[in-house]
Structure 1
Amino acid sequence: MSRFRSLLQASVNATKKAFTWNTEEWLPPAEKHIFKFSSKEDLRKWHLYSDSEYGGLSSASLEIADGRNGSNCPGIFSGNLSLDVSEGSKWKITRSGFCGMRSKQFDGFIDLDGYDAVALRLKGDGRCYISTIYTENWVNSPGQPEDNSWQAFVITPKDDWYTAKIPFARYLPTWRGNVIDAQMEMNLGRVLGMSISVNAEAGVDGSKSGAGDFRVEIDWIKALRTD
């Protein structure tokens, strides 16, 4: 009888262990590197865009900083924002003065399920930049072929390194740069890309705005699990 009880208890213990949910085993790491900007190879994962594609006169570049004394060499996104439009342009744009850098298409997608924020380590110029996350459309039907885009402002203190931590809940759904009034959920399991942009006439109170030069150094972009 004692042997039977021992076998029964061993079976019960094994069953309990099999069905016990150890949350630490299911959670992702506390942070996940998405992009770094320490080499020219890293920068080749991005492409630039600006209003110059539509008749504007803004310009942008992306390059590696000149490392000195063995220090890290971050990427530098810089250029000039112009509100002017070239004469005789065939494009009838209603606004100019914007530049951006967008990641090139992934071989698949990035899975950020389990994370609740994104972090960007930056050293800026006092301007307000825009962080955009592109996700696969939940519906993904012929009637809605485009990816979803989500945007949040990032203020960059002038001349100081700063880690901006933005909860995914702060990203708003947008359409061609305009916030849309819709109840939507970000598809974090299928992130297709990211971008960082700057607009001469957009931002928040207290940030630098207007036409002129811009410059932001970027060290890395990560996903965070803060809970």
Structure 2
Amino acid sequence: MKWILLLLTFNWYPQNNMKEIYRFSTKTNLREWRIVNDGVMGGVSRSNLFIVNEGHGQFSGHVSLENNGGFASIQLNQSATIPDETKYIVLRVKGDGKQYEFRLKNNLYQSVSYVHPFKTSGEWETIRLAIGEFYPQYFGQKLNRPNFNYKNIEQISFLISNKKEEDFKLLIDGISMN
């Protein structure tokens, strides 16, 4: 059984054209990640990130609309160079059927995030997000600027903000490029 799990875990990373950005494991240092919820704007949503027994990251909590709130997120400052031939960010996740956003920043100090929404199915899945479809957003507003077209990443994040009060749970195995 252990061998089957190992094969399934590593099977989604074809060695010839995938470049890993981040992978959760039982040895993950969670202090690398930062929780940023709507409390920064007066909201009361709550979330946490922890490692489940299988070594996946679990981002979960409750989004509240009280006090003009409505989002929860986790962020990681992670530098990665994007090879010229790269077309996709690839997520290996198991969600709860809800929609989430994956976000990129090419500079830690920029206020704009580049956003790509994705819907989860409730099963483990590999989701491919076209890099050229990450659109610029500032405080929830889409900007009239070009989509992500940079050669590096300095921050990645997951966010949930569906304009409704809800519990959520997203298991994350890894993030890569291809």
* TM-score tier (shorter): 0.7 to 0.9
- Residues 111 and 138 of structure 2 are in contact (CA less than 8 Å); yes or no, is this contact kept in structure 1? no
Separation in 1, partners of 2:131, 2:106: 12
The alpha carbon displacement at 1:127 in A equals 0.7
Q: Secondary structure at the match of 2:137?
A: strand
Separation in 1, partners of 2:120, 2:45: 20
TM-score, length of structure 2 as denominator length: 0.83
Q: 1:54 to 1:116 in 2, by over 3 A?
A: same
The alpha carbon displacement at 1:196 in A equals 0.4
- The residue type equivalent to 1:43 in the other structure is L
1:113 paired residue among 83, 106, 119: 83
- The residue type equivalent to 1:97 in the other structure is G
Separation in 1, partners of 2:174, 2:46: 23
Q: Secondary structure at the match of 1:213?
A: strand
Query: Percent of aligned positions with the same letter in both sequences?
Result: 25
Larger Rg: 1
1:45 paired residue among 17, 32, 43: 32
Cα RMSD for the two superposed structures? 1.9
Q: Deviations over 1:17-36 (max 9, x none)?
A: xxxxxxxxxxxx51100011
- The residue type equivalent to 2:61 in the other structure is G
Q: 1:32 to 1:180 in 2, by over 3 A?
A: same
Q: 1:44 to 1:135 in 2, by over 3 A?
A: same
Match of 2:159 in 1: 197
TM-score, length of structure 1 as denominator length: 0.66
Q: 1:96 to 1:147 in 2, by over 3 A?
A: closer
Match of 1:217 in 2: 171
- The residue type equivalent to 1:112 in the other structure is I
- Residues 135 and 147 of structure 1 are in contact (CA less than 8 Å); yes or no, is this contact kept in structure 2? no
Q: Secondary structure at the match of 1:41?
A: coil
Structure 1: 4+ residue segments shifted above 4 A: none
